[in-house]
């Protein structure tokens, strides 16, 4: 079925070409880059068509090239069609992260000729490093910052009639990318303040870009930012010269993932480097610590399961982790013992004093629930178990 449809389409294309070709006079004028046109007889035109198709490895009755070559009334052909062979030859790099010491692969690409039949010769920093038919890829390890990796590629068509040469310069670069959120952590906490849903996150990048011995100031570089593999922003408020910081508002959806990419390049486009970081949103947490009258807050030991002698009192302080700073004034706290709500006139009070009676014993469940008056989705809590012992 597919073969029949293909033949039908070929017949239509040939018919279209025959109609166009029949409108021409006995001699056909092919416009050239010069002011004096070159005239070909129909026999010469046919010879050019056949030679062109044979060099591409196509059958002589291929309809696509026929239409492309002979739409003379529209003056679509302005140069010798044989010069189109490998005219689109280019070198592609398999990575946009060009850090020093990284191994990258360069590949040759063209749509006009089967690349497996082309004879390639690769030159790296002026030295021939790879050659042969079908050698369309070359791998190299990038040097230190400021090193120039100069690449040159010479490609010869299968019939040796066309030779194309292209070159590419690569300068390794490095970018240190980090992020920080506007969430609260206790003063003794040495970890990173994680990203709660609905908060803001700030990204910053510190690039290392050098051309030879000349280091380029980060303020002179161009930065472009992208979220979740989307298009790089062209907004002057986000991207541009010296825009090495980026702020984003995080959705209220829990456990969301954000992939942020920054592209750094110099204004002469000699260097182009991309760095990417993935951030996960994290729910706020509440932890309990004992508030001792002598030592103060015992931060090195979280209170989860504790024992208390009957008749004694323990002060419990709740410490929020990863709540947005802008929401702290709207947070209310509610304490419970064994599911019974404690009368707490000060809803901002994060300290609860638990007292036991003489001769009492057993398990007591302490629970704290927090909620945001302005955001119903922002709520949570934590609990602790206190075992009262009778001596």
SS3 35: coil
SS3 content of the chain, % helix, strand, coil (to 5): 15, 45, 40
CA–CA distance, 352 with 329 (Å, rounded to integer): 19
Taking Cα atoms as reference points, which of 190, 178, 386 lies closest to residue 288?
Answer: 386
Q: What is the pTM of this model?
A: 0.67
What pLDDT is recorded for position 58?
63
SS3 133: strand
Q: Are 292 and 152 in contact (CB under 8 A)?
A: no
By the 10 Å C-beta count (0-12 exposed, 13-18 middle, 19+ buried), 316 is classed as buried
Hey, what are 30's tokens? 């092919």
Place of tokens 């014993």: 361
- The tens place of each residue's pLDDT in the chain, 391 residues long, gives 444 544 445 444 444 444 434 444 333 343 444 445 556 666 666 777 666 666 666 655 555 444 444 443 333 334 444 445 678 899 999 888 999 999 999 999 988 888 889 999 999 999 999 999 999 999 999 999 999 999 999 999 888 888 999 999 999 999 999 999 989 999 999 999 999 888 889 999 999 999 988 999 999 999 999 988 888 888 888 899 999 999 988 877 777 888 999 999 999 888 999 999 999 988 899 999 999 988 899 999 999 998 989 899 999 999 999 998 888 888 999 999 998 888 766 767 888 898 888 888 899 999 999 998 888 778 899 999 999 998 7
What pLDDT is recorded for position 344?
67
What pLDDT is recorded for position 391?
75
CA–CA distance, 188 with 36 (Å, rounded to integer): 84
Q: In the chain, what is the straight-line distance between the N-terminal and C-terminal CA atoms, in Å?
A: 93
What pLDDT is recorded for position 233?
86
Q: Say how many C-beta atoms besides its own lie within 10 A of residue 278's C-beta.
A: 10
The strand pair at 305-309 and 375-389 is best described as parallel
Question: Which runs of consecutive H residues, i.e. helices, occur in 221-338?
Answer: none
Q: Tell me which DSSP letter residue 253 carries.
A: S
User: Taking the CA of residue 150 as centre, how many other CA atoms within 13 Å lie in the half-sphere pointing to its CB?
Assistant: 7
Question: Which runs of consecutive H residues, i.e. helices, occur in 56-186?
Answer: 63-69
Mind listing the domains of the chain with CATH numbers? Answer: 2-84 (no CATH), 90-170 (2.60.40.10), 174-280 (2.60.40.10), 285-389 (2.60.40.10)
CA–CA distance, 287 with 382 (Å, rounded to integer): 7
User: Taking the CA of residue 133 as centre, how many other CA atoms within 13 Å lie in the half-sphere pointing to its CB?
Assistant: 8
CA–CA distance, 180 with 277 (Å, rounded to integer): 12
CA–CA distance, 323 with 184 (Å, rounded to integer): 5
What pLDDT is recorded for position 39?
64
Q: Are 263 and 223 in contact (CB under 8 A)?
A: yes
What pLDDT is recorded for position 177?
93
CA–CA distance, 196 with 318 (Å, rounded to integer): 18
What pLDDT is recorded for position 91?
92
């Amino acid at each position: 079925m597919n073969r029949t449809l293909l033949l039908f389409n070929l017949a239509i294309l040939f018919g279209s070409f025959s109609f166009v070709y029949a409108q021409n006079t006995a001699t056909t004028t092919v416009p050239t880059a010069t002011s004096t046109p070159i005239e070909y007889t129909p026999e010469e035109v046919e010879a050019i068509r056949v030679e062109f198709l044979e060099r591409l490895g196509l059958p002589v009755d291929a309809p696509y090239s026929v239409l492309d070559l002979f739409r003379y009334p529209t003056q679509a052909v302005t140069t010798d069609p044989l010069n189109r062979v490998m005219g689109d030859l280019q070198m592609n790099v398999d990575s946009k992260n060009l850090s020093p010491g990284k191994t990258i692969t360069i590949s040759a690409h063209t749509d006009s000729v089967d690349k497996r039949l082309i004879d390639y010769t690769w030159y790296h920093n002026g030295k021939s490093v790879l050659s042969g038919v079908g050698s369309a890829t070359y791998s190299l390890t990038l040097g230190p910052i400021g090193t120039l990796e100069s690449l040159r590629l010479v490609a010869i068509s299968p019939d040796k009639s066309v030779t194309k040469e292209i070159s590419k310069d690569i300068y390794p670069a490095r970018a240190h990318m980090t992020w920080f959120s506007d969430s609260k952590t206790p003063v003794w906490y040495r970890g990173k303040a994680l990203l709660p849903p609905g908060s803001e996150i700030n990204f910053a990048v510190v690039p290392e870009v050098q051309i030879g011995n000349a280091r380029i100031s980060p303020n002179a570089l161009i930065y472009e930012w992208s979220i979740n593999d989307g298009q790089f922003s062209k907004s002057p408020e986000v991207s541009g010269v010296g825009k090495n910081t980026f702020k984003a508002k995080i959705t209220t959806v829990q456990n969301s993932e954000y992939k942020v990419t920054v592209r750094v390049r110099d204004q002469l486009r000699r260097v182009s480097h991309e760095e990417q970081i993935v951030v996960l949103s994290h729910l706020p947490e509440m932890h309990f610590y004992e508030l001792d009258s002598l030592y103060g807050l015992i931060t090195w030991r979280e209170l989860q399961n504790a024992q208390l002698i009957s008749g004694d009192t323990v002060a419990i302080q709740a410490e929020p982790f990863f709540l947005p700073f802008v929401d702290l004034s709207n947070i209310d706290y509610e304490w419970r013992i064994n599911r019974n709500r404690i009368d707490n006139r000060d809803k901002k009070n994060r300290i609860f004093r638990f007292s036991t009676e003489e001769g009492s014993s057993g398990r007591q469940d302490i629970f704290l629930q927090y909620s945001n008056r302005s955001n119903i989705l922002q709520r949570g809590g934590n609990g602790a178990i206190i075992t009262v012992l009778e001596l």
